[in-house]
Amino acid sequence: MPRSTVVRPEEIRRHNLSQVLHQIHVHGAMSRAELTASLGLNRSTIGDLVADLVRRGMVDEHVPAAGVDRAGGDKAGRPSHMVAPRRDGPYVLAVEVEVERMVSAAVGLGGRIHVRRETPLASPSSPSGALTQIARDARWLAARMPVDARLVGVGVSVPGTVRRTDGMVVHAPNLGWRNVPFGARLRRRLGDSVSVRIGNNANLGALAEHQRGAARQLRDVVYVTGGVGVGGGVIVDGAEVLGAGGYAGEIGHIMLDPNGPPCHCGSNGCVETSLGEHAMLRAAGHTGPPGSAAVAAVLASAAEGCEPAAAAVAAQGVVLARLLGILVNVFNPEAIIVGDTMEQILRIERTAVEAEIGRRSKAESRAALLLLTPGLGRDSALIGASELAFQHVVAGIATGD
C-alpha cells in the first residue's frame, strides 16, 4: 500500500504548531496578523499556538511601539503583537567542512548566525582532525551564546556523497575520505542527546538558497557549486531531490566528452576532468601547488584580459555552460544558481556562458531561465547545514518527538 496522506483531527494542532514555527523560522519576526493571514487560521488559534511556542522558550512576543506596526492591528486599531525568535532560544551548530577550511556557526531560529568561527584545515584533512575541530568549535561557540540558549541539533556540510539516513560519508574525493561513518562518530563525540545530520555541500547549498537566498520565491531550482570539485543540488516543486540513497546531484561525473581524459572515478571525459580549479590552473600554466591564492591570481589576471589566464577562464566558461545546458534540458528549472569559483567564472564569462547554454539546450526549456549567483555568498552550504538541523526541530514539534 502507498503511504496514506489521510489527516486525523488530533494531528492538526501539532501540524499547525509546526507551521507557525516554520513561518517564524523562514521569515524571522512576524506580527500575529501576518501569521493569521499567511496560515489562514483565526486569530485566537494563532494566539494559542504562539503562546505554546513562548512556553517552549522558542519565541518571544512583544507589543510594538506606536507607529512601527508592520501589518495592521485589530479593528480597534491596536497594533498586532510581534512574534520573534528568542535570542536565548534554541540554536543549532552548523558546520561546513571544505578542502582548505572549516566554518562553524551557532545559528538561531530565523536563520540568524549568532557567532561564527573559521579555521584553516590541513589539506587533506583527516576525519579525526575534523571531528576534533567540530567538538572544539561546539564548546567555543557555546561559551559565547547566552547561558539559557540550548543546542538542539547539529548539521554538517561535507563536499562528497553522503548517505542522509545515517550520515555515512561514502566518498569525498577532495578530502580523501571513503566510507567514513562521520555522523555516527560525531554523535559519539557530542553526546547522544543531540540530533546530528550530515549532508552534501551542494544539496545543502540548494536548500539554503531556496529557503533564504537567491531562490526564495522559486519552486524549481538547480544549484551548481564548483571549486576543486563540481557538485549539484536540485529543488523540484519546492522539495529537495535526494534520490534513493541521498546521492542525487553527482553532476561532476556526467560524461561530457567520450574522448576526454581519464577521471579518478574510473570513467573518462567527466565534467570534473575539464571543469574546476585544477583544470583551470593547469590551463593557465600554473605549476605550483593549487589553492585559493593561486585561483584568485588566475581569476584576477583573466579579468584584466591577460593570457594564458583569460583563455583558461574562457574554456571553463564553455564547459560550465555545456553542463548547465544539460541541467536545463533535464530539469527545465526557473533558475540555476552558480556558486564558489564557478560564480567568478560566470561573472567574467557571462555573455559567452549564456550563448553556449543557448546553443546546448531546448529553447522552451530555457525560455524563462534565470542564471543567478548565490544570495548567501559563500555561506550557502553553512546555512544549508543549519536548515538540515532545524528540519528536525520543526518536524519534531509536529510529530511530538
Site for a second copy in 348-387 (CB under 8 A): 359-365, 367-369
Looking at beta carbons only, is 49 or 295 nearer to a second copy? 49
Q: In the complex with a second copy, which residue's Cβ is closer, 300 or 368?
A: 368
Q: Choose which of 121, 145, 194, 256 interacts with a second copy (CB under 8 A).
A: 256
In the complex, least distance from residue 27 CB atom to a second copy, rounded to whole angstroms? 8
Residue 247 found at the interface with a second copy (CB under 8 A): yes
**Percent of residues in the chain assigned helix, strand, coil, to nearest 5:** 45, 20, 35
398 near a second copy (CB under 8 A): no
What lies within 8 Å, CB to CB, of 395 at 6+ separation is 18, 401
123 binds a second copy (CB under 8 A): no
How many Cα atoms sit within 13 Å of 228 on the Cβ side?
19
* Structural contact between residues 103 and 77, judged by C-beta atoms closer than 8 angstroms: no
- Measured CA to CA, the distance from residue 158 to residue 173 in angstroms comes to 11
Q: Which residue among 51, 63, 239, 300 contacts a second copy (CB under 8 A)?
A: 239
Binding mask 173-212 for a second copy (x = CB under 8 A): ----------------------------------------
Q: Contact between 332 and a second copy (CB under 8 A)? A: yes
178/347 with CB nearer a second copy: 178
Residue 225 makes contact with a second copy by CB under 8 A: no
* CB-CB neighbours of 329 under 10 Å: 13
The answer to whether 71 touches 90, Cβ cutoff 8 Å, is no
Shorter beta-carbon distance to a second copy: residue 19 or 341: 19
Interface residue with a second copy among 114, 116, 253, 392 (CB under 8 A) is: 253
Among positions 282-311, residues that touch a second copy (CB under 8 A) are none
170 binds a second copy (CB under 8 A): yes
What does the DSSP 8-state code read for residue 92? Answer: E
257 binds a second copy (CB under 8 A): yes
Site string for a second copy, 146-165 (x = CB under 8 A): ---------------x-x--
What's the Rg (C-alpha) of the chain? 23
Among 177, 182, 331, 390, binds a second copy (CB under 8 A): 331
DSSP 342: H
Q: Which 3 state secondary structure label does DSSP give 157?
A: strand
Please, what is the angle between helix 182-190 and helix 127-143, to 10°? 40
* CB of 265 vs a second copy, minimal distance in Å: 6
Q: How far is the CB of 226 from a second copy (least distance, A)?
A: 15
User: Rounded distance, CA 29 to CA 394, Å?
Assistant: 16
Sheet holding 112-120, edge to edge: 112-120, 101-108, 90-97, 150-158, 196-200
Cβ(196)–Cβ(186) below 8 Å:
yes
One DSSP character per residue, 261-317 reads: PB-TTS-BSBHHHHSSHHHHHHHTT--S--SHHHHHHHHHHHHTT-TTHHHHHHHHH
Q: Looking at 226, 333, 339, 374, which residue binds a second copy (CB under 8 A)? A: 333
Q: Which is nearer to a second copy, 9 or 77 (CB)?
A: 9
Is the CB of 245 or the CB of 377 nearer to a second copy?
Answer: 245
Cα dihedral 20, 23, 27, 28 in deg (nearest 10): 30
Question: Minimal distance in Å, beta carbon 308 to a second copy?
Answer: 21
- Per-residue x/- marks for a second copy, 34-63, CB under 8 A? ---xxxxx----------------------
Contact map string, positions 18 to 37, toward a second copy, x by CB under 8 A: -x------xx---------x
- Could you say whether residue 249 binds a second copy (CB under 8 A)? yes
Per-residue cell: 195:
540530533
Q: Which of residues 64-93 bind a second copy (CB under 8 A)?
A: none
Among 51, 63, 255, 300, binds a second copy (CB under 8 A): 255
